[in-house]
Chains A and B, each alone.
Chain A
């Protein structure tokens, strides 16, 4: 299983283990110092930063949710005025979707995919670093703007004409549009990296049917990102052009179309839900298999359902627009396609339950979150079937019924699995275990608090309470349930608070984890916790879908990669046969500088179109520096 033969280069094969480790460390360890921290390209460090940043945004978004619940607890609440409230719910939504949900799922992929497929770093590591800095800049833009009373107030969907030049006063909607540009840029970069990593860097022997389900999910997700994100970039760029340059994409009087924006937005916006949900399916499959102590039931149907959902998700965007008065035929098509997506989702739930049925469940915190996921997500999926029906949607659209529905899907379907995944992979990331006892408490509080908070919102919506209202009159019969919801949300907040406490406590004082604390079957558990900078001492060779269960003692490894420069093993797409050795880019400050230059240009363009012209010069300089041939193979990579 060696790579290409060659005697002149040191391969490490013949070196003693300590010497090989020393040499690998010398070439793979990240540089030191502040400059070093800004130059890092290690997927684990960037993935960890990405995840930590995303959870910071989750906490911030949670604070906004608390403000919303205090405001709505009583009729005609006086905590926030309409102006601030509109910013609060807009930033809550935009933050949770663009700065938490999508990035955190991609970040889990950035950290885990290279480990799960047995390679030393993600493909295009410098692009990865660039992506993180761009993401941080976009998040900072939104939050600094919000704290300065500058925050977008047009809803996370930013419909024109409300966000357009005539009714979107000031720069608030521009902040929204440009924040989207930042996060989309970051997401697209990660998606490309993951696709290439999965296709070309899998461990030898990891044929398509041996790829872990989480990696499959990230692969499908990445394709969704690549196809869906350009639509929203067009929408937000056209909006910003309308606002700043005076174009007429969305001006009906000049041949533009208001609904065009909605089509573009939801052509992205619906796949977005699956961009968040599919990685969660992958996490659930992985954790289920570990804690049911058997391979997941129906590997092939699960992979097929992931792909089917990915394809179908592009055929149902218009069900967000049923009340705009679409032609009848169009409505029927989108009803049918929206209903159809229940089939692959049903297959997934079926396979999950079958796995539990056939296995011997071990009750550790991740499995608790998986159970909470099945219970909650199923409700969200079924109310999804209800809103897919045009006539029903005409009653519940834009009411609290829909608020309840998508929180069931997004929190039940993605956040619960994500919290389970943090409990599951925390030992790998930090080398320390999280607390089983606190984990059970977190799962219980979050599950009970979530359902008590969001289930009554279905009823509120049916009672006629529209979304996005900052106050309601005391005569309307919504006061009681709203107060109940606000009180119940305290339980939910307590659960999240305990989760953050457990994370911090465990990071400092958790019990040492060991390499494979859960006795899990996938490759990331074949290395130390936390993994060394080069991930694997020798590249593992895979002979089954569950390598650590089937070869517990003697996982074969491939040798032959050089130990004097960063090298990866490139394998074939289908059968993962070794094809070549490829150098992997080393640490560099240029991605950071390029991200700073891009940030300056994008933010400047909000205030003057000339910023695009002058701002491109520093970007050009940064890119020239980035790609300047320096002679070292790591730089050519």
Chain B
């Protein structure tokens, strides 16, 4: 058993090192996640020792030499109280130790919010991120400045979702009718992945969230770019796409700031091509992926609220060119 446990943990470590962005609690990248990680290993060590002790006594009990058994039974009449008492005391001590460690870790996690506020709202099946002070509205990808505490204010538009980026912080639910908040301080630059962790319906499996931690200067530049309205496209094909966007059903649900499209049903697409992925981290933000998503969303993400729109091939090319131009 213990050998298998070791092997699987080594496996885990190996696969963690392999790829990025990943979402693994075994690869902490923020002080909060690191403290959880340390607590986790403390529990693993203590629990393994307890388990090995139980297994050792079980093995001994089964294999020991039976010639002495009769004496033990005779002596057994007065040992139960003593022995059970010892077992209780040992268990209480271990459990109390772990409880205290757990409380200490909880306390170390409590940090005051500072400066940056991000409102994260869960929808079936995507995330809307609003930066009130910076005037940024985006979806499925948030950027954070390294080293600065960020207060995430969580709310849900329809059903319960759960915000979880394992490398940064434990999870917290987004609950209709309630406000939750969590503070994160990321210490290392990088791209992290999170995923909705509370079952939320058909596409619960495809509700990813990308977190980009970058130096403050890069973050400020990003925020300025995101707060700007969309630039009018210059290529003729993209211009045709922009007209189609307004004329067809796209503008019934999506907003592109700087144009007439201002609906709030689907993600804000003002700078959609600046994101790493679309459809809640299901496809990369490439022109081909845009076209595939527009023409047949229900094959890629069955049950998603994006309907398929009948388009001529030329129209599809124009729309995907326009999407790619929304940097």
B167: min CB distance to chain A, Å: 8
A92: min CB distance to chain B, Å: 14
Q: How far is the CA of A395 from the CA of B28 in the complex (A)?
A: 11
Residues of A268-325 contacting chain B, CB below 8 A:
294, 297-298, 300-301, 323-325
Q: Is the beta-carbon distance between A298 and B197 smaller than 8 angstroms?
A: no
B111 contacts A by Cβ under 8 Å? no
Known contacts being A81-B302, A395-B166, A464-B24, is A323 close to B171, with CB within 8 Å? yes
- B4 neighbours in A (Cβ, 8 Å): 451-452, 455
Known contacts being A82-B302, A258-B177, A297-B80, is A463 close to B99, with CB within 8 Å? no
A472 contacts B by Cβ under 8 Å? yes
A489: min CB distance to chain B, Å: 16
A159 contacts B by Cβ under 8 Å? yes
Known contacts being A343-B91, A358-B76, A379-B51, is A395 close to B58, with CB within 8 Å? no
A398 contacts B by Cβ under 8 Å? yes
Residues of B99-115 contacting chain A, CB below 8 A:
99, 101-103, 105-106, 109
Q: Taking CB as reference atom, which chain B residue is nearest A331?
A: B106
Q: Taking CB as reference atom, which chain A residue is nearest B63?
A: A361
Nearest 9 Cβ contacts at the A-B interface: A394-B170, A252-B177, A469-B205, A464-B23, A389-B102, A346-B91, A357-B61, A382-B47, A350-B87
Binary CB contact string for chain B from 236 to 273 against chain A (1 if under 8 A, 0 otherwise):
00000000000000000000000000000000000000
Known: A297-B80, A379-B1. 6 other contacts (CB 8 A): A161-B160, A162-B159, A451-B1, A463-B26, A467-B199, A476-B193
Interface-facing stretch out of B5-13, B130-138, B218-226, B227-235: B5-13
B28: min CB distance to chain A, Å: 9
Main secondary structure of the interface of B (DSSP, over half): helix
- B170 neighbours in A (Cβ, 8 Å): 323, 391, 393-395, 397
29 A-B residue pairings within 8 Å (CB atoms): A82-B203, A83-B202, A161-B158, A161-B176, A162-B199, A258-B178, A259-B178, A298-B80, A298-B84, A323-B170, A323-B171, A323-B173, A324-B178, A325-B172, A343-B92, A346-B88, A346-B91, A347-B88, A382-B47, A382-B51, A389-B101, A390-B102, A394-B170, A396-B25, A455-B8, A462-B12, A463-B12, A464-B23, A467-B199
B100: min CB distance to chain A, Å: 10
- Across the interface, B58 reaches (CB within 8 A) one of A155, A356, A390, namely A356
Residues of A30-85 contacting chain B, CB below 8 A:
81-83
B273: min CB distance to chain A, Å: 20
A488: min CB distance to chain B, Å: 11
Binary CB contact string for chain B from 49 to 73 against chain A (1 if under 8 A, 0 otherwise):
0110011011011101010010011
- A471 neighbours in B (Cβ, 8 Å): 205-206
Known contacts being A395-B25, A470-B205, is A358 close to B69, with CB within 8 Å? yes
Chain A residues within 8 Å of chain B by Cβ, number: 87
Interface-facing stretch out of A15-23, A332-340, A611-619: A332-340
A374 contacts B by Cβ under 8 Å? yes
- Across the interface, B8 reaches (CB within 8 A) one of A83, A343, A346, A456, namely A456
Q: Is the beta-carbon distance between A323 and B16 smaller than 8 angstroms?
A: no
- B62 neighbours in A (Cβ, 8 Å): 356, 361, 371
- B193 neighbours in A (Cβ, 8 Å): 464, 476
Q: Is the beta-carbon distance between A466 and B196 smaller than 8 angstroms?
A: yes
Q: Is the beta-carbon distance between B26 and A167 smaller than 8 angstroms?
A: no
Q: Is the beta-carbon distance between B39 and A392 smaller than 8 angstroms?
A: yes
A386 contacts B by Cβ under 8 Å? yes
Interface residues of A (CB under 8 A from B): 81-83, 86, 155, 159, 161-162, 166-167, 252-253, 257-259, 294, 297-298, 300-301, 323-325, 328, 331-332, 335-336, 339-340, 342-343, 346-347, 349-351, 353-354, 356-361, 371, 374-375, 378-379, 382-383, 385-386, 389-399, 451-452, 455-456, 458-459, 462-464, 466-473, 475-477, 480-481
Main secondary structure of the interface of A (DSSP, over half): helix
Known contacts being A357-B72, A382-B51, A481-B11, is A462 close to B26, with CB within 8 Å? yes
Q: How far is the CA of A458 from the CA of B62 in the complex (A)?
A: 29
A556: min CB distance to chain B, Å: 26
Q: How far is the CA of A358 from the CA of B57 in the complex (A)?
A: 12
Known contacts being A167-B159, A394-B171, A476-B23, is A162 close to B201, with CB within 8 Å? yes
Q: How far is the CA of A174 from the CA of B21 in the complex (A)?
A: 41
- B196 neighbours in A (Cβ, 8 Å): 466
Q: How far is the CA of A45 from the CA of B204 in the complex (A)?
A: 45
Q: Is the beta-carbon distance between B166 and A464 smaller than 8 angstroms?
A: yes
Q: Is the beta-carbon distance between B106 and A253 smaller than 8 angstroms?
A: no
